[in-house]
Each structure stands twice: as C-alpha cells, then as structure tokens.
Amino acid sequence: MMGTQRLSRREFVAACGKCFFALALTASPLFLNRKAYPSERARLEGRWGLVETKLSPYFKPLAGKEVRCLLCPRKCEISAGERGYCEVRENREGSLYTLVYGNPCQMNIDPIEKKPFFHVLPGTLSFSIATAGCNFDCKFCQNWEISQEVPEKTFNFRLPPAMAVKLARENQCATIASTYVEPTIFFEYMYDISVLAKKKGILSVCHSNGYINPQPLADLCGYLEAACIDLKGFTEDFYQEMTEGSLQPVLSTIKTLRNKGVHVELVNLLIPTKNDDMQVVKKMCLWIKNELGPDIPIHFTRFYPLYKLRNLPPTPVETLERAREVALAVGLEYVYIGNVPGHPGENTYCPRCKRQLIARSGYSILANQVTKGRCKYCGKRIPGIWQGAS
C-alpha cells in the first residue's frame, strides 16, 4: 500500500481552490452575457503560475546592479535576482520588473457596494480584479490566500488591459475596481487599465491601504475617480503590530486624494481589543473632520476571525454602534456600519433634513432618493458620484 502525503494548509487551500475555480468559472456573473461567453472564455485561458512582466517606471538604479523601488514607502533595496517585500517586483540585471502585469488571479463582477462604495453609482456593477501579492501583511486579512502569495503559486488569467475594459463594457459594468489585495503592487496594470477605461467611459476605482509614494499616486490621480481607503487604525503601534506598515503615509495619501478631487470613502475595521478604543476612534474622526471635511463617508465594519487573528471574537454590533455615535457627535455627516446586513447604519441619511435617502440591505439598494447628486427632499448636495461618465 502506498503511503499518503500530508498537505500543508496552504497546499490544501490551493488544491480546493483549483477545483472550486473550475466549477465557479462557468457560473460566474462574468460569463452571464451569453453573447460574449464562447469567444471570451476561449481567450481567457489561465493557468497556475502564469507570470506576465513589464518594466517598472518607479525604481532607482544603485551600485552593483541593486535597485531601490520607489513605488511604496518601503523603498525596498533589491539585489539582482531578488524581490521586494511585496514579492511581485523583481530585480532583473539591474532593472525592476513587475511580475503581475495582465495576469490577475481574481476577476469578478461585484456590486459597487461591496468595495464598499456607498456614494458611487449605487446599484451598479463593478468589474473587479486583483493579482497575487501585497505590501502589507495584515494579521486580519480576509484575502490572505492571494495577498500573501507569489504569482507563481496562484491560478492566473492572461487578461491584458484592453481585454479587461472590453469585458467590463460587455457586462454592463460602470466601473473597473482594483481591489481584494493592495492594488499599488500591480500599479502599472491598474494604471494602463484606467487610461483605456477613461476613453471608453468607464470609471476607475480602487480599494487600497493607501501605502503608496507621492509620485505614482499623483500619476494615478489623473485617471482615478474614486478610492476607498482602509484607515486600519489611528496609532503607529497598531500599524506596526497588525500590518507591518505605518500610519503617516496613509494619512498623506488620503489628503492627496482629497486635494486632487478624487472621491474618497474610508473604512475602519474595528477589531476587539486592538483598535476599538473609543478615545482613539474619536481622535481619528476629529482628524477626518479637520483635515478632510465632515462630508467624507466612513464605514465602521465588523471584524470576523480570520488569518492570524482567529483567537479573537467578532466585533460586537454595539461597538460599531458606539463608533458611529462618536463619529456623528464630532460632526461627520455620513457614517456607516458594515458587515451587519440589514442594520439601519447601512442607510444614507441627509445631514440637513435627516430624511433617509438610500435604503440598503447588504449589497442591495432598496430605495434611492438622491436626485442629480442632491437630497430629493431639501436639495442639499450629497458628495459622491451619482452619474456615470459621459
């Protein structure tokens, strides 16, 4: 009798994922457009470990064929043949290449509310993509199977930017979202998609940790319409312990996006005993009001045990409600509760007349009383993107 080989957890997840992916592909909303189905599926062949490369514009050559990556605040110094922290940027003979250009491992059609964007084209669909890799290692990551993996070990599609835009159009997606992992690590891919999407009248959005350097951020802002930024906590200790990153670059990114006219929404995942001190929450909310303005939407979302924090309980709903009360008390106008479907904190209310404007249940829109970007009842302007690109 032959012996059995014990699989590691990551190998087991990968094996299960391969089977699930094969089944899910034919049922995915991506292929519900039957007119596009036969030809697109044939062209969207993928395989495990598919790597596509492109020279990065964001690096500085150093002595001995070393390079310094200039994409994110880590500024990794990388020897020839080695990779940076994100594991998707490689020094090849003194030049820095991305290994995730046009080879996403996730490709879905989601409600825009899932990003979450509550002030961007409610009720529309978003063509959502991600590659392997990340420049954080969040202990609570819900997508750790791909964010903490290298592209050689994920199932990847060959999807050049033009095809991504084409699929978004054919499936009636108003936006293309770079999401699931930190999109900064596939910056060149996101950027090129955004340039093409703008020409076709599709808006580019992203969900990001905000850990990006000023120059690439400025380059992206010319094509990015909306950004949902994870403001994961409001102390340097939390960032260092929980993400292996730092807070200040994230705050700078948020301010830059706001100043450049990009629509910004913030997400704060409240984790029991880690970042749920209401005094710190108040300090964060005051910073948002004073530095960004009272009309920035913020989502306080519920934590569930995942990845390296499986020992902690889910966030009590009462904690989320207290955080919302704190935010409203300091003067923030659009404060949401996330990951609690059906909670009244999912809804949008007019800060002037207090009437309910958008009723939600999970990702579903039940009613929308925002008319041409204004409250239907009192006429107050509601910040956001309420009409698609012309």
286-309 pLDDT, tens digit each: 999 999 999 999 999 999 999 999
Q: Do 184 and 162 have their domain in common?
A: yes
Q: Do 287 and 337 have their domain in common?
A: yes
Asked if pLDDT for residue 127 goes beyond 70, the answer is yes
> Would you state the pLDDT for residue 389?
59
Q: Do 158 and 302 have their domain in common?
A: yes
The verdict on pTM exceeding 0.85 is: yes
How far is residue 349 from each of residues 220, 337, 367, 368, 376, measured CA to CA in Å?
A: 31, 13, 12, 11, 11
User: CB of 49 within 8 A of CB of 56?
Assistant: no
Residue 246, domain member (yes or no):
yes
> Would you state the pLDDT for residue 11?
47
Please tell me the distance from the alpha carbon of residue 377 to that of residue 146, in angstroms, as a whole number. 45
Residue 157, domain member (yes or no):
yes
Please tell me the distance from the alpha carbon of residue 190 to that of residue 167, in angstroms, as a whole number. 15
Average pLDDT over residues 331-357: 97
- Domain range spanning residue 153? 106-375
Sheet holding 67-69, edge to edge: 59-61, 67-69, 77-78
Please tell me the distance from the alpha carbon of residue 191 to that of residue 219, in angstroms, as a whole number. 8
Domains held by the chain: number: 2
How far is residue 44 from each of residues 146, 147, 172, measured CA to CA in Å?
A: 19, 22, 18
Average pLDDT over residues 240-250: 98
Residue 296, domain member (yes or no):
yes
Please tell me the distance from the alpha carbon of residue 209 to that of residue 260, in angstroms, as a whole number. 18
Q: Do 67 and 205 have their domain in common?
A: no
Instruction: Report helix, strand and coil shares of the chain as percent, to nearest 5.
Output: 35, 25, 45
Please tell me the distance from the alpha carbon of residue 41 to that of residue 24, in angstroms, as a whole number. 13
CATH of the domain at 199: 3.20.20.70
| % residues pLDDT > 90 (the chain) | 87
Please tell me the distance from the alpha carbon of residue 20 to that of residue 338, in angstroms, as a whole number. 27
User: Of 98, 119, 152, at which residue does a domain stop?
Assistant: 98
Q: Do 154 and 237 have their domain in common?
A: yes
Q: Do 59 and 175 have their domain in common?
A: no
Q: Do 64 and 135 have their domain in common?
A: no
Q: Do 82 and 111 have their domain in common?
A: no
Q: Round to the nearest angstrom and report the end-to-end CA distance of the chain.
A: 67
Q: Do 187 and 89 have their domain in common?
A: no
Q: Do 178 and 203 have their domain in common?
A: yes
How far is residue 145 from each of residues 11, 12, 238, 316, measured CA to CA in Å?
A: 10, 11, 23, 26
Q: Do 69 and 157 have their domain in common?
A: no
| % residues pLDDT > 70 (the chain) | 88
23-46 pLDDT, tens digit each: 334 334 444 333 333 345 445 778
249-275 pLDDT, tens digit each: 999 999 999 999 999 999 999 999 999
Residue 28, domain member (yes or no):
no
Sheet holding 224-230, edge to edge: 106-111, 125-130, 173-178, 203-208, 224-230, 263-270, 298-302, 335-338
Please tell me the distance from the alpha carbon of residue 276 to that of residue 124, in angstroms, as a whole number. 32
Q: Do 265 and 169 have their domain in common?
A: yes
211-240 pLDDT, tens digit each: 999 999 999 999 999 999 999 999 999 999
